[in-house]
């Protein structure tokens, strides 16, 4: 708080990048807190929250007649301009943002202050979800060819590698240590991925070969890697750098392997540029996106001049080559300079092309944990989490996500997750809301005890999994077919122009399909419950025929609309309920002794069983009657009543009818939807969720509750509901109970 000189400024103008007739600017109040910059426009009921850690740069523009302008660019591609009336207030805000956006100590980052007070997970969730050793066991390691080495259990062999390293079974400790000394940063060749045909992908850093240096141990280790794959006599060594860059490194005592010393090895160079070129390329792409009055020619020229799509194509081309070689039974060793940027990109992308597990939500999280976090991508330096050398910053991970998006465009049914999932991960990498993407290697994260002091991003993504489901996903076990033709490389508008409201479609097809997917799934569960409930509670006639025709006999072709199935179920429930009321009235004059006898009759007597179930003397609590208990994070945690029946099909019929009246069969459409019920504007790519009870669409703030949805089979557990439905479903008098 010592950096905040002016916490509140009124009459601040927010200038839109693409002004229209209805919104050229808005006026409101600017707030500065310890973690966020907040702009509130009371007229439009619009709030803009920006984490200080997301601010990339703040520029103070020349004073104009309307005030001092502050141009702020963010790491997640938001560019905004504030006009502050008074020069002193503008200067104070400028100085405060410079200091708050560039913390000098890692403990000042937002993840150490984030409490997840409105979420449904704890600080323990997510950290132990992924085990690198278990992931290698899924691949079949250890086996006769690969062993788990303990040489790095205390990070003595390589400080930036994980404790868990898999190496050739035939390589002894002397060879392993010798190879580590010959590789840059001691990053020796280790296993990254093992394919089903025994071909492998190994990763390392460049050798310290210079012009004529050699290392017998390193040569033997690569030969041992080659021998782990008996199906191929060759081993490919892929250097992801341009050849000229590798030759320059030779003059510095590094370089690449000498083919004279390494037998049965074939070398391949690819033209992926270094971090400095990529950083400049992204800046040129952002400049093209921020043109004030872009024309077709100027925008396309700017995108082409940035070279960004050319770099994306180069990474994809290298990864496809690696995947094809491994699929054909040839093992590969990959390196760049130090093995934590281009090597991480190509290893992980090739694995996604080869392995369908990595195309699932859990698999993609495992891939990032293995190839990026465990093997030491420098997130602190590349993302600029703390104040340091700006020359170390580079959009390496963003580029990786861009390539994944390119593959998703060619294979829209192959991935379990959607575009929003990739964008969310990119945001979490830079905003440091969670401790997952903090530090440069596994050792540093363990030293800071991040799993005890911060929340895990995997817990958040799992809690919001339904927002990231791809409704077109079809599980397949084959390798992906990916084209690297220039016509298939696209500009990712959803990421780089995400905040430009004028360049997006009115309704996103992905949002519509996802909503329909969940809606149909809920209707199926509702129909299944009603079918089973009717079947269980129908009374047989004396001649053995049922009173009502079973729902399963309904011919769907005769129904003019799908919701009529549910409507017919409701009509039958009401008819059954009326019949039960008549039965209860006819038995009302029974004496107390007869009632006691009825209560102990054997369960095989169906008539007496129904009398017991529907008796008003001993009502059975509804399965959705929940206790709310505040945990340490002040979250609403749902606790089942100890007397709650496990079988919801045994509920009284009047209770079922009451519960069904709460659930809406029709869900609100996204068409022409501009604002939430709280008047919050629903911007493109903002989170818009349906309430699983009433079916209306709400913003993320208004649908921050979870509870079970009754009258579904199987019961829908912990679904998002609005606050009004939360009160009705849980029988609570307050949403904060």
Residue 342 annotated as binding?
Answer: yes
Q: What token pair was written down for 237? A: 């060594």
Contact predicate 140/159, CB 8 Å: no
Is the distance from CB of 446 to CB of 105 less than 8 angstroms? no
641 vs 62: CA distance, rounded Å: 64
Q: How far apart are CA 201 and CA 136, in angstroms?
A: 12
Nearest to 621 by CA among 595, 581, 659: 659
Tokens of 566: 């549910």
| Residue 604 labelled as part of a binding site | no
In angstroms, rounded to a whole number, what is the distance separating the alpha carbons of residues 334 and 346? 8
Q: Write out the two tokens for 494.
A: 């959803």
The answer on whether 275 is annotated among ligand-binding residues is yes
Question: Is 336 among the annotated ligand-binding positions?
Answer: yes
362 is in an annotated binding site: no
Q: Which two tokens stand for residue 502?
A: 């004028």
**Token match 């509670």: residue?**
537
- Tally Cβ neighbours within 10 Å of residue 627: 14
Q: Are strands 200-203 and 331-335 parallel, antiparallel or unpaired?
A: parallel
List 204, 336, 660, 725, catalytic entry? 336
Q: Which residues of 367-406 are buried (b: 16+ CB within 10 A; e: fewer)?
A: bbbbbbbbbbbbbbbbbbbbeeeeeebbbbbbbbbbbbbb
The reply to whether 339 sits in an annotated binding site is: yes
SS3 annotation, 493-520: HHHHCCCCHHHCCCCCHHHHHHHHHHHH
Tell me the C-alpha distance between 355 and 203, whole Å: 18
d(CA 524, CA 617): 34
Closest by CA to 570, choosing from 621, 616, 526, is 526
Q: What are phi and psi of 435, to 5 degrees?
A: -85, 0
Q: Is 336 a catalytic residue?
A: yes
Query: Is 376:440 a contact under the CB 8 Å cutoff?
Result: yes
Q: Give me 136's structure tokens.
A: 């290698």
E strands present in 651-704: 688-690, 697-699
State both tokens at 252: 């510095």
Q: How far apart are CA 47 and CA 700, in angstroms?
A: 13
707: tokens are: 């509870």
CA distance 508 to 417: 16
Measured between alpha carbons, how far is 480 from 474 in angstroms, rounded to an integer? 13
Structure tokens belonging to residue 390: 């700006």
Q: How far is CA 81 from the centre of its chain?
A: 30
Residues making up the annotated binding site for substrate are 274-275, 336-342
- Which residues contribute to the annotated binding site? 274-275, 336-342
The residues that are catalytic are: 336
């Amino acid at each position: 708080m010592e950096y905040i000189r002016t916490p509140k400024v009124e009459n601040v103008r927010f200038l839109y990048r693409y002004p229209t007739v209805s919104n050229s600017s808005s006026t409101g109040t600017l707030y500065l807190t310890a973690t966020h910059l907040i702009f509130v426009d009371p007229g439009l009921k619009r709030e803009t929250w920006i984490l200080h850690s997301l601010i990339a740069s703040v520029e103070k523009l020349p004073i104009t007649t309307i005030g001092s302008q502050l141009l702020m660019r963010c790491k997640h591609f938001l560019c905004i301009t504030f006009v502050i009336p008074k020069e002193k207030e503008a200067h104070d805000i400028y100085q405060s943002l410079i200091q708050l956006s560039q913390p000098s100590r890692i403990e000042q980052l937002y993840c150490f202050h984030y409490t997840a007070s409105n979420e449904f997970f704890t600080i323990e969730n997510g950290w132990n979800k992924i085990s690198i050793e278990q992931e290698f066991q899924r691949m079949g390691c250890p086996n006769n060819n690969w062993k788990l080495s303990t040489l790095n259990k205390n990070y003595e062999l390589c400080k930036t590698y994980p404790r868990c390293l898999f190496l050739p079974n035939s390589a002894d400790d002397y060879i392993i240590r010798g190879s580590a000394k010959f590789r840059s940063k001691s990053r020796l060749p280790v296993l990254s991925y093992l394919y089903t045909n025994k071909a492998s992908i190994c990763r390392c850093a460049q050798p310290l070969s210079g012009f004529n240096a050699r290392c017998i141990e390193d040569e033997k280790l690569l030969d041992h890697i080659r021998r782990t794959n008996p199906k191929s006599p060759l081993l490919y060594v892929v250097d992801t750098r341009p050849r000229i860059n590798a030759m320059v490194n030779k003059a510095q005592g590094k370089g690449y392997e000498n083919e004279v010393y390494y037998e049965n090895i074939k070398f391949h160079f690819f033209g992926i540029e270094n971090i400095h070129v990529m950083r400049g390329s992204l800046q040129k792409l952002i400049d093209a996106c921020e043109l004030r009055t872009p024309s077709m020619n100027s925008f396309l020229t700017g995108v082409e001049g940035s070279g960004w799509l050319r770099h994306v194509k180069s990474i994809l081309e290298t990864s496809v080559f690696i995947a094809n070689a491994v699929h054909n039974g040839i093992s590969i060793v990959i390196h760049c300079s130090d093995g934590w940027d281009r090597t991480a990109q190509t290893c992980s992308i090739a694995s996604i092309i080869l392995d369908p597990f990595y195309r699932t939500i859990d698999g993609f999280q495992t891939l990032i944990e293995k190839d990026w976090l465990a093997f030491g991508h420098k997130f602190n330096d590349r993302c600029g989490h703390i104040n340091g050398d700006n020359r170390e910053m580079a959009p390496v991970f963003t580029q990786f996500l861009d390539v994944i998006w390119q593959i998703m465009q060619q294979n829209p049914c192959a991935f379990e997750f959607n575009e929003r999932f990739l964008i969310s991960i990119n945001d979490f990498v830079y905003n440091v809301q969670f401790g997952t993407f903090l530090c440069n290697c596994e050792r540093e994260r363990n030293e800071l005890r991040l799993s005890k002091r911060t929340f895990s991003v995997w817990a958040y993504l799992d809690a919001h999994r339904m927002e990231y489901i791809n409704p077109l996903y079809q599980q397949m076990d084959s390798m992906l077919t990916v084209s690297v033709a220039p016509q298939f490389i696209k500009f990712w508008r959803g990421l780089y122009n995400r905040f430009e409201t004028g360049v997006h479609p009115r309704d996103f097809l992905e949002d519509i399909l996802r909503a329909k997917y969940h809606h149909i799934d809920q209707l199926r569960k509702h129909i299944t419950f009603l079918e089973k409930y009717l079947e269980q509670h129908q009374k047989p006639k004396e001649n053995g025929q049922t009173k009502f025709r079973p729902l399963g006999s309904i011919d769907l072709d005769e129904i003019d609309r799908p919701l009529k199935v549910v409507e017919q179920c409701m009509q039958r429930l009401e008819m059954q309920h009326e019949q039960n009321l008549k039965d209860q009235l006819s038995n009302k004059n029974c004496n107390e002794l007869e009632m006691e006898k009825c209560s102990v009759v054997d369960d095989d007597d169906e008539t007496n069983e129904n009398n017991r179930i529907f008796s008003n003397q001993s009502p059975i609590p509804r399965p959705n009657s929940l206790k709310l208990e505040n945990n340490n994070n002040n979250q609403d945690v749902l606790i089942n009543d100890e007397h709650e029946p496990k079988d919801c099909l045994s509920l009284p019929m009047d209770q079922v009818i009451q519960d069904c009246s709460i659930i809406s069969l029709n869900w609100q459409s996204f068409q022409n939807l501009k604002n939430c019920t709280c008047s919050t504007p629903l911007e493109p790519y903002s989170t818009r969720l349906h309430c699983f009870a009433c079916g209306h669409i709400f913003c993320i703030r208004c649908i921050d509750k979870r509870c079970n949805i009754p009258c579904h089979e199987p019961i829908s557990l912990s679904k998002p509901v609005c606050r009004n439905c939360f009160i009705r479903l849980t029988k609570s008098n307050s949403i904060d109970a």
